[in-house]
């Protein structure tokens, strides 16, 4: 076989299907067939490292290595655009263009994407470098992270591109990805991202590209720079860029006069809510590159383009009071209770105040007339105060010092903005929140129990912790009822009829068969989501071993960092938690892994801790699975307790150096296979 040709053919075919799937949304093959081609390419690249290529499709998954970003000076400064907010300012822009150009001109109108700006440099048709905007003069080299974004081509299609050029655009997080990410953050007790822009920007600056790859970022490209571009028309260059494989957005219009520009703005000011991503305005550019050069630049912005910003969806209303909500993990969040007001098609009665620092920064006081905005945020937020309408007798807001639910003195960890209630075993919202988490679909999935019923069980003294659920009897449930009036004056009934009581008890009984990893997730250890629960269950096999694990043993597990390890140690260090776990064990819940699920094949690696790093002939997850199948334990970091470092291709030099310093043996993939008898 001509290995070089086969590798080249596979790369070309995989890039084609990447483009069809991620850019055109027109897949032609199944995920399975794609994966089989990718595995074949990975195997060939492993066997023939002389054909290594950083732009190979196999490099899309990113690296586990942490990297410090290098500052790169932009060849062409990344300037900002002047913003306009009304039609008069737009007309002023057009008049200036008309005055400075002798010939006729046309505009290209594009959406103004709300993400993180990026500049991509290509040389000889391959991605060379990706740099953030930074301060406009220089930015961070984030090439390793950008390579994981599948809508960005690593190699260009077709032909005719300049030897070297830049193309700029916006890296974004689609709404669906953003919503899923925030669900996961809430699940492990972390603060959700405020909006997709912040999430995209934060992801792009993560120092672990393997984690970036999991975030499913997207990218639109909309501006090309270089010495020998294919055309002197901005619009025509974008069409060429699309032919080369770039994801050039279809939301664009060529306009011969300002009336067409206005119609484009009007259309998208209405239709923007239908888009699967955020925009905050329209960009208007002179199409001719020759005319762009004639118009020139200001110090910080081009004279040939302007951004029309959509007015923020903002209203004024009175702040009637501030209340404080306590979450499942004890975090106290201030909430503005507002005079009801219409905003973005809904009636808003509450808005987030985020934390004590935000209240102090904006000097928000009860009785103020506040500005409330909803622009890509999860919930409306107060963004400022109309000082002209402030009552003369207003008083500065004093953030509460004690929990509004249990009166425990609030605490704040160093470096954190949020205050929290430490009374986790006496604070009703925390107790009910933990029970609600325990019964949720992705945890124990107990049928017919929901928020209202948990509250009723708590109020009646039947459930004070998750273990109490397994002591419930039919006679306690049947006939219980609560009648309440909600904030809109509607009567709400919560109760347990015969069938409901039976279904609840059946669901509780069925939950005893949930596997260890789901039970571990359900008991609500802070920062332990579904994925981490699986890692811990697979590494320690039963709750007793996990409860006795030291901080050092925990951080040696793949993907378990200091914060998670400290949280696990703290959880099992509390007598109340240990008692609840013991009662759950007595009730019959699964607190040990089904050994058959691990398919242990030998004890060749019994009590051995292995660090797997680099690229192998088979997926790294398969290698890690083999470690466990033969009695070993995976670790993500090298320490004096590491028994072997299994080194693949492209393993980071820092890890190799650390292994040598600590005297940890380094073995190859072949040596590993011999070790396990394969």
Per-residue confidence band for 447, with pLDDT thresholds at 50, 70 and 90: confident
Per-residue model confidence as pLDDT tens digits over 556-590: 887 788 889 999 999 999 999 999 999 999 999 99
The Cα–Cα gap between 543 and 523 comes to 11
pLDDT of residue 531: 74
Residues 6+ apart with CB under 8 A from 476: 462
* Pairing assessment for the beta strands 279-286 and 107-113 based on DSSP bridges: antiparallel
Over residues 632-645, the mean pLDDT reads: 82
The Cα–Cα gap between 333 and 325 comes to 5
- Exposure on the CB side of residue 607, measured as CA atoms within 13 A: 0
Q: Is the pLDDT of residue 636 over 60?
A: yes
Over residues 378-385, the mean pLDDT reads: 80
Per-residue confidence band for 498, with pLDDT thresholds at 50, 70 and 90: confident
Query: Cα Rg for the chain, rounded, in angstroms?
Result: 29
Residues 6+ apart with CB under 8 A from 356: 334, 399, 417, 419
Per-residue confidence band for 376, with pLDDT thresholds at 50, 70 and 90: very low
Say if CB 434 and CB 423 are below 8 A apart. Answer: no
Global pTM value: 0.54
The Cα–Cα gap between 637 and 616 comes to 18
DSSP state of 23: I
Say if CB 151 and CB 60 are below 8 A apart. Answer: no
Say if CB 588 and CB 620 are below 8 A apart. Answer: no
Domains detected in the chain: 3-61 (1.10.287.610), 71-309 (3.30.470.30), 314-419 (2.40.50.140), 428-513 (1.10.150.20), 516-597 (1.10.150.20), 599-675 (3.40.50.10190)
Per-residue model confidence as pLDDT tens digits over 382-411: 989 999 999 999 999 999 999 999 999 999
The Cα–Cα gap between 630 and 42 comes to 24
Which residues are known to be catalytic? 112
Q: Using alpha carbons, list the distances in angstroms from residue 320 to 336, 346, 374, 409.
A: 8, 19, 19, 25
DSSP 39-54: HHHHHHHHH-GGG--T
pLDDT of residue 148: 92
The Cα–Cα gap between 331 and 327 comes to 5
* Pairing assessment for the beta strands 346-352 and 331-343 based on DSSP bridges: antiparallel
Per-residue confidence band for 485, with pLDDT thresholds at 50, 70 and 90: low
Nearest to 280 by CA among 371, 185, 417, 377: 377
């Amino acid at each position: 076989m001509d290995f070089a040709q086969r590798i080249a053919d596979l790369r070309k075919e995989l890039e084609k299907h990447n483009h069809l799937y991620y850019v055109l949304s027109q897949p032609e093959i199944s995920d399975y067939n794609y994966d089989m081609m990718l595995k074949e390419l990975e195997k060939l690249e492993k066997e023939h490292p002389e054909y290594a290529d950083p732009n190979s499709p196999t490099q899309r998954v990113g690296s586990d290595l942490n990297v410090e970003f290098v500052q790169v000076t932009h060849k062409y400064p990344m300037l900002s655009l002047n913003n306009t907010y009304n039609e008069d300012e737009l007309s002023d822009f057009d008049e200036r263009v008309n005055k400075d150009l002798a010939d006729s001109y046309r505009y290209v109108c594009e959406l103004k994407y709300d993400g993180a700006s990026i500049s991509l440099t290509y040389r000889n048709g391959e991605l060379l470098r990706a740099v953030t905007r930074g301060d406009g003069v220089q930015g961070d080299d984030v090439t390793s992270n950008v390579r994981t974004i599948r809508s960005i081509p690593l190699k260009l299609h077709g032909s005719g591109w300049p030897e070297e050029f830049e193309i700029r655009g916006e890296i974004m997080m689609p709404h669906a990805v953003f919503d899923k990410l925030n669900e996961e953050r809430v699940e492990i007790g972390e603060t959700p991202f405020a909006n997709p822009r912040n999430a995209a920007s934060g992801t792009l600056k993560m120092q672990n590209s393997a984690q970036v790859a999991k975030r499913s970022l997207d990218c639109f490209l909309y501006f090309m720079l270089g010495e020998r571009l294919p055309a002197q028309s901005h619009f025509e260059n974008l069409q060429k860029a699309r032919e080369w494989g770039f994801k050039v957005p279809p939301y664009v219009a060529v306009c011969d006069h300002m009336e067409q520009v206005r119609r484009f703005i009007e259309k998208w000011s209405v239709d923007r809510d239908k888009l699967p991503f955020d925009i905050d305005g329209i960009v208007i550019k002179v199409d001719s590159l020759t005319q762009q050069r004639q118009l020139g630049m200001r110090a910080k912005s081009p004279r040939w383009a302007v951004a029309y910003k959509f007015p923020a969806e903002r209203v004024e209303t009175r702040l009637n009071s501030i209340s404080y909500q306590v979450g499942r993990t004890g975090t106290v969040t201030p909430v503005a209770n507002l005079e009801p007001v219409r905003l973005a098609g809904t009636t808003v009665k509450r808005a987030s105040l985020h934390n004590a620092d935000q209240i102090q920064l904006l000097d928000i006081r009860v009785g103020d007339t506040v500005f409330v905005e909803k622009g890509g945020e999860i919930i409306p937020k107060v963004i400022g105060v109309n000082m002209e309408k402030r009552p003369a007798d207003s008083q500065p807001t004093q953030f509460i010092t004690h929990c509004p639910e249990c009166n425990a003195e609030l605490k704040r960890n160093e470096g954190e903005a949020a205050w929290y209630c430490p009374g986790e075993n006496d604070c009703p919202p925390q107790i009910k929140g933990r029970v609600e988490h325990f019964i949720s679909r992705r945890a124990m999935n107990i049928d017919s129990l929901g928020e209202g019923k948990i509250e009723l069980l708590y109020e009646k003294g039947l459930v004070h912790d998750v273990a109490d659920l397994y002591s419930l009897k039919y006679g306690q449930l049947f006939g219980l009822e609560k009648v309440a009036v909600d904030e809109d004056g509607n009567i709400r009934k919560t109760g347990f009829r015969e069938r409901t009581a039976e279904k609840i008890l059946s669901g509780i009984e069925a939950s005893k068969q949930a596997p260890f990893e789901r039970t571990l997730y359900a008991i609500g250890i802070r920062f332990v989501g579904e994925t981490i629960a699986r890692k811990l269950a697979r590494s320690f096999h039963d709750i007793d071993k996990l409860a006795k694990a030291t901080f050092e043993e925990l951080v040696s597990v793949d993907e378990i960092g200091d914060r998670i390890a400290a949280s696990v140690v703290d959880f099992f260090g509390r007598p109340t938690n240990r008692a609840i776990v013991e009662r759950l064990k007595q009730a019959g819940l699964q607190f040990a892994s089904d050994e058959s699920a691990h398919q242990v094949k030998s004890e060749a690696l019994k009590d051995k801790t292995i660090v797997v790093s680099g690229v192998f002939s088979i997926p790294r997850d398969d290698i890690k699975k083999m470690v466990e199948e033969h009695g070993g334990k995976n670790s993500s970091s090298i320490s004096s307790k590491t028994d072997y470092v299994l080194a693949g291709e492209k393993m980071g030099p820092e890890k190799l150096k650390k292994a040598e310093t600590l005297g940890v043996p380094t073995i190859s993939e072949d040596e590993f296979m011999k070790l396990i008898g394969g």
